[in-house]
Structure 1
Amino acid sequence: MTFESLQQQREYLLLECISGSKAYNLQVPTSDTDIKGVFILPPSELYGMTYTPQVANESNDEVYFEIKRFLELLEKNNPNILELLSTTDRNLLFRHPLMDLIQPGDFLSKLCLDTFAGYAKTQIKKAKGLNKKINQSHGPERKDVFEFCYVVAGGHSVPLREWLHEKQLRHQDCGLAKLDHFRDVYALYHTSQFEPGTFFRGIFSGPEANDVQLSPIPKGVAPLTIMQFNKDGYTVYCKDFAAYWEWVALRNEARYEHNKELGADYDSKHMMHTFRLLTMAEEIALYKEVRVYRHDRDFLLRIRNGAFTYDELLEMATQKLYDMEQLYAASDLPDHPEPALADSLLIRIREEFYVPKK
């Protein structure tokens, strides 16, 4: 089964719904239409050697789960699957009568505290990571080893580049020797201290170097100075530099520009969905139902539109997480769904679909 073949064999569809922002009542003029659904494999594939758990289009805006995979995820209280099963009629495109056998309330459990709140925590972590990246400023060129080297001069530490410029020396004419018992500290020599024809390898090999390099140093000559290479600082910088430009390459440019226009130092859409998930988890504990269509649209869109500071949102989210833990501790929801339920439903749905009653 592929996405394309499913579209051509729609008789194997069990459920098809509009999902995402339009299902949540959180759409804005630029929102796409996401589709999610459930299908059942044709008998020839079910009885064969292959199994297709889900299919999707290239952009992943349309995703369909095979009924077995759907029930597996439902048993784990996966938020996306519970939302799909609880989609309101206004966003329902097709529903096979067999889907009436699967009721969300039969699967809701205290696992939702971990699945909904756990996913929300992931969104907060993403927002924190984005907060860090938005406030970083890395030029397109990576700094070289030079920027992290310092020498001792006049009882003070001086940047190596500055010291070389003042002394009118080239780093290519310098040689380094390790100092015992001193981590990342070196004795620095210059060819001018030795007989003509003495050559050193230089302090580092080039702009892409990740470390300094040593040279064989003739004995009996005192170093010009002592140099320290902040190797740990350089390693951290290189990782941050690489992560920043990877983020730039992969980021959603429209969303980034939206946050930039708002002056928000976090991903406002991530934070909006964080609060949506936290509130939905609270509702499950209080009302034992999954409320996909959001009547708190105004509050959630205020988050998306940057009405709150980053710190305000983190404080509110932390309080919500604490309150939710209290709600689930007091709830009479089961710890997990009935283990045999998904299995019995899968058998019944397959039997009734493949061999309909006369």
Structure 2
Amino acid sequence: MSLTLADARIVTPEGVHEGWLTIEDGRVTHVGHGAAPGPGLRLGGRHVVPGFVDVHNHGGAGGSFPTGEQDKARDAVALHRLHGTTTMVGSLVTDTLDGVSRAAAALAELCEEGLLAGVHFEGPYIAKARCGAHDPALLREPSPQEFAGLVKAARGHARMVTIAAELPGALDTIRMAAAEGVIAAIGHSDADYEQTIAGIEAGATVATHLYNAMPPLGHRAPGPIAALLDDERVTVELINDGVHVHAAMLRLAYEVAGPGRTMLITDAMSATGLGDGDYVLGPMKVHVRDGVARLAEGGSIAGSTLTMDVAFRRAVQELGLSLPDAVQVTSLTPARVLGLADRIGSIAVGKAADLVVLSDSLQVDGVLKDGVWITEPS
């Protein structure tokens, strides 16, 4: 199958140019400037950006990855693909070890089908003082041997684990994860600056939703935020939904980390795409009101109802990022973190034709996955 997209504004790492591109057998084969050399689908000057890459997502459309219910998980993937996310990691939450293992095994099948890019273990190795929407009764101290069992359950698809660096056994578990090719992320942590640095030295390379579920910045006790932002080895996740983090703090993190170390995530949960109501996040009951998800008991924020197209749009319209920089933090940087930047994350010859067509107002008007339309431009 061959397809040419013509009369488009193509967003690449080098900038935005008016031109065209050709797709054959699911890959981009040509990217050109000006008028296309032959017939094609004319986009009328609409933008074409690479498919979004979300490394932290708990579900949507009523489906919750932590439950391990595969049909509902497929609904969640389909919902996020409609919003331009063509690559996503399925994130779990704290549960019993058996519950986490079963969910990981179920998601491994979706990874093998190409629907997910891996499994993220967000819990149970997190701090009680910063557990947020996780059940504190089910938290555990990190153990390399125990985590090896979870990695085995994921059948080669364990992609990331969030660990509180200050917990006993954390540093050894971070080392083990890094040695196994699993991204170690510091988050849901009450660590101080020095403990966070120790986690980074042990091999942690990601900050799980920076600012959220960790001590705030302090001028005498800088805590984990300063350590994670300041270290060139760490890429920081940010939830850009207007609820989790104030825009000024988002801009501050971006100014320090830049597009190469910043990646926007959704942290989406099952209510995404459905609206207000009562839901679950793992074993926890969640109320969604006015689009904000909070625990039924205690009121902690419990994930989000965000989609990546909204995060992208807010990055440009609220934070002031250029289109190429907004593309980098929603596509290329997370693709690099996942080790997939040679295949996805930017528009380039040889890469997968995972593409999103955006209107002038940056609304999704078409999505391609591996060169096949998920939704065609109107």
* TM-score between the two structures when normalised by the length of structure 1: 0.21
Q: Which has the higher strand share?
A: 2
Bigger Rg over Cα: 1
